Each structure stands twice: as structure tokens, then as C-alpha cells.
């Protein structure tokens, strides 16, 4: 028989799980009924700083990658691995090492001429690797730090999934290259392995696609323009639009998919201060339309966490297979730790014994 804690987890509409914590990550490719309590089919403006909670927030700030350049004779060269690198269309030109005030070519030139597209970016990663990126894809140049120059370099075939539309849509973090293109956000590691990091939102990849990339280097986050964030340490995806906020839960159904009657909703609330607050919500069953938006007051209580009972609209208090809620507004001083659906099929009070 399942333990009391395990049974309780089954009936949590939204909240942290053993393998993934709030704030919830986006997942738009699965059906909402297949998501875990720590996933969301559609949320925006979640505060990434509030571990284990849902709170309102805006997109974190990021820093652009550092790229030292040197201009000699009107030509701009990049400085990597203690040598200058020049670009001429789809050809890479490497200079002799240790000179940054004059360009002494250490040939021969290195063509990337599978097509006519010009090289857009050179980004070092790993110990002595260079990512050479074009609109049609990217290459990995190994031994890029070798003092012998081009003769010692080795290059991979064209990696077509790593298409780079613009030079500001590539960045490096902890030895991994990240590229944002029309298909989403992709990662390239030192072993030459490519990962589709936005796989979970492949059908709605706009917040992460064709975006200028910056990094929060300390907190290990890839910032996609002003609309998306990929958190490297957790693999979570978040989307943003200014100060807009909403949270949509998974669609809850019983483990055996039998009908259930919805009685009440319970929010587990954490208070940031002693002031009161509120949230706005709406609900739906099956694939019906949402009810009208209602307001739930969240008065301050001295307890660390307060369970606030939320009456359900009449339209959703019925026998149903699936139930879903959307929080459309939340006071900035209130955090949601969990949302529990209480029903005649599984009553929260039963699990307090």
C-alpha cells in the first residue's frame, strides 16, 4: 500500500515533487493531463529566485559574452587562444601566436566552403576548441590553441542543426556552446554532442527562438532576449513578457482516470511580510472554457505556511475526469507553495490523520 505521503502527492494539483521543485518548468508538447505537479503547460512571469514557490517576477538580467577585437589596417580581428583570427567570407585566417598589435598570417587559410555563407561568429569553448558558425550551421575546430597554427587544427563536418542567424545569438557557458535559431535553443558540448534544449516546448518555441543570448554566469542561466530563460542546472524553461504574470496548472485526473467530484481548492501560501494580499483565479473541467475570474483574499497569518480554502465556481463542481486552474494575478508579497484539489474521492482531511 502507498504511504500517506505518496497518496497525498497523487492529489496535488501543483507543487514541488521529489525530482523537480517549483517554480514549475514549461512543457507544451505533452498533454496537460500528462504533466507532473511541477510542470506547467502555459505560464509566464514566474520569479526564478523563489525556489519551491510560485511568485511574480520579471526576466533575469544577463551579460553579453566578452569578445576582444583588434583593428589593424581597417580590418577587425578576433583575439582567442593568444592569437588573432580573421574572417574573409567563408574562410578563416589564423595569425601567428602572441601578436595582438600586428597580423602575421600563419597559413594556410582554412575554408569552410560547403556553401557560400559567410562565417558569422568564432566562439572558443572547452580546453582548445573553437565553434565556427554560419547561417547554414556550425563547425568545431579542435587544437585551436596549438602554437603550430592551421596545420595542427582539425575541423568537424558541418553541423546543420546549429544554424546561426546572427552573431549575437551564440554564447558559451561552462564549456558548452548555446545557439538560438528558428528551431529553438541548442547546446553543443566538448564531445561534439548537440542537444535540443527546448524540446519540451518544440510546438511553441517562439520565446526561445531567434533570440540574442546573454548569460547569468553565476546562476547558470541562458537568457533568450527578453522572452525566455533556460536554467542550465535544472533544465527548466521559463517565458516572460514584461511584468505579465499567469500560472496554469496541469490538468488533474485520478490515477485510474475515473470520474471525480470537485469540492474545493486549497492554496498553500507563504507570506513575505505581514501585509495582506490576494490572487485571482479561474478554473475549468475537461476541455471546456474557463470560468470567469474570481478573487481570493490572502490575509496574513503568523504561520510560516497558511492553507487558504478557495471556493470553486458552480460550473466546475460536478463529476468530471479532468480539472485545471489558472492563476491570473498574485500579490508580490504572497508565494504559492502548492495547490491541492479536495474532492469526495480524496479529501485532504483524510490525510491529516
- Which tens digits make up the pLDDT trace of 275-307? 999 999 999 999 899 999 999 999 999 888 999
Long-range contacts of 218-222 (CB under 8 A, 24+ apart): 219/60, 220/173, 220/174, 221/48, 221/60, 221/62, 222/62, 222/171, 222/173, 222/178, 222/185
pLDDT at 1: 41
Say whether both 215 and 77 belong to one domain: yes
Is residue 63 a part of any domain in this protein? no
Report the alpha-carbon angle 302-303-305, nearest 5. Answer: 130
Is residue 316 a part of any domain in this protein? yes
**Mean of pLDDT over the chain:** 92
Mean pLDDT score, 132-157: 96
Total domains in the chain come to: 2
Say whether both 46 and 133 belong to one domain: no
Is residue 240 a part of any domain in this protein? no
pLDDT band at 2 (very low <50, low <70, confident <90, very high): very low
Say whether both 50 and 78 belong to one domain: no
Mean pLDDT score, 99-125: 94
Say whether both 187 and 258 belong to one domain: no
pLDDT at 344: 57
Q: Does 351 score more than 50 pLDDT?
A: no
Among 162, 196, 227, the domain boundary falls at 227
Mean pLDDT score, 129-136: 98
Say whether both 257 and 336 belong to one domain: yes
Is residue 237 a part of any domain in this protein? no
The CATH number given to whatever domain includes residue 45 is: 2.60.120
The CATH number given to whatever domain includes residue 154 is: 2.40.128.630
Say whether both 323 and 271 belong to one domain: yes
Say whether both 283 and 347 belong to one domain: yes
Cα gap 224→201, rounded to integer Å:
14
Report the alpha-carbon angle 276-281-208, nearest 5. Answer: 105
Domain holding 129, by residue range, is 69-227
Cα gap 283→291, rounded to integer Å:
6
pLDDT at 262: 77
Is residue 328 a part of any domain in this protein? yes
Is residue 114 a part of any domain in this protein? yes
Q: Does 9 score more than 80 pLDDT?
A: no
Report the alpha-carbon angle 352-11-307, nearest 5. Answer: 55
Percent of the chain residues topping a pLDDT of 90: 82
Mean pLDDT score, 229-238: 98
Mean pLDDT score, 7-14: 64
- Give the three cell numbers for residue 4: 500517506
Q: Does 4 score more than 50 pLDDT?
A: no
Say whether both 204 and 273 belong to one domain: no
Is residue 236 a part of any domain in this protein? no
Say whether both 87 and 220 belong to one domain: yes
- Which tens digits make up the pLDDT trace of 25-78? 999 999 999 999 999 999 999 999 999 999 999 999 999 999 999 999 999 999
Q: Does 171 score more than 90 pLDDT?
A: yes
Mean pLDDT score, 251-255: 89
Among 227, 259, 291, the domain boundary falls at 227
Mean pLDDT score, 254-281: 90
Say whether both 193 and 134 belong to one domain: yes
Among 227, 260, 291, the domain boundary falls at 227
Q: Does 103 score more than 90 pLDDT?
A: yes
pLDDT at 311: 86
Say whether both 180 and 126 belong to one domain: yes
| SS percent in the chain: helix, strand, coil, step 5 | 10, 40, 45
Is residue 64 a part of any domain in this protein? no
Mean pLDDT score, 140-162: 95
Say whether both 106 and 156 belong to one domain: yes
Mean pLDDT score, 187-210: 97
pLDDT at 254: 85
Amino acid at each position: 500500500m502507498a504511504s500517506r505521503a505518496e497518496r497525498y502527492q497523487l492529489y496535488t494539483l501543483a507543487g514541488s515533487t521529489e525530482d523537480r521543485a517549483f517554480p514549475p518548468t514549461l512543457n507544451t508538447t505533452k498533454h496537460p493531463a500528462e504533466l507532473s505537479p511541477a510542470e506547467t503547460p502555459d505560464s509566464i512571469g514566474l520569479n526564478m529566485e523563489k525556489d519551491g514557490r510560485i511568485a511574480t517576477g520579471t526576466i533575469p538580467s544577463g551579460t553579453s559574452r566578452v569578445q576582444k577585437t583588434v583593428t589593424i589596417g581597417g580590418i577587425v580581428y578576433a583575439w582567442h587562444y593568444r592569437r588573432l583570427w580573421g574572417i574573409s567570407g567563408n574562410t578563416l585566417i589564423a595569425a601567428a601566436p602572441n601578436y595582438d598589435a600586428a597580423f602575421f598570417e600563419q597559413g594556410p587559410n582554412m575554408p569552410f566552403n560547403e556553401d557560400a555563407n559567410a562565417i558569422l561568429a568564432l566562439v572558443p569553448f572547452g580546453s582548445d576548441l573553437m565553434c565556427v558558425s554560419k547561417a547554414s550551421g556550425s563547425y568545431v575546430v579542435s587544437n585551436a590553441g596549438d602554437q603550430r597554427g592551421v596545420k595542427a587544427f582539425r575541423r568537424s563536418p558541418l553541423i546543420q542543426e546549429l544554424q546561426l542567424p546572427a552573431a549575437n545569438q551564440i554564447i558559451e557557458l561552462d564549456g558548452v556552446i548555446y545557439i538560438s535559431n528558428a528551431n529553438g535553443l541548442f547546446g553543443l558540448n566538448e564531445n561534439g554532442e548537440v542537444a535540443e534544449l527546448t524540446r519540451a516546448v518544440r510546438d511553441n518555441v517562439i520565446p526561445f527562438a531567434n533570440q540574442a543570448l546573454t548569460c547569468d554566469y553565476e546562476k547558470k542561466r541562458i537568457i533568450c532576449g527578453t522572452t525566455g530563460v533556460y536554467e542550465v542546472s535544472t533544465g527548466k524553461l521559463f517565458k516572460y513578457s514584461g511584468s505579465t504574470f499567469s500560472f496554469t496548472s496541469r490538468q488533474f485526473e485520478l490515477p485510474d482516470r475515473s470520474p471525480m467530484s470537485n469540492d474545493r481548492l486549497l492554496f498553500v501560501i507563504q507570506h513575505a511580510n505581514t501585509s495582506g494580499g490576494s490572487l485571482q483565479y479561474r478554473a475549468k473541467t475537461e476541455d471546456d472554457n474557463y470560468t470567469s475570474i474570481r478573487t481570493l483574499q490572502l490575509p496574513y497569518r503568523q504561520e510560516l505556511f497558511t492553507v487558504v480554502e478557495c471556493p470553486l465556481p458552480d460550473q466546475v463542481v460536478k463529476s468530471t475526469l479532468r480539472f485545471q486552474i489558472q492563476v491570473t494575478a498574485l500579490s508580490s508579497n504572497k508565494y504559492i507553495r502548492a495547490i491541492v484539489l479536495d474532492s469526495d474521492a480524496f479529501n485532504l482531511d483524510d490525510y491529516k490523520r
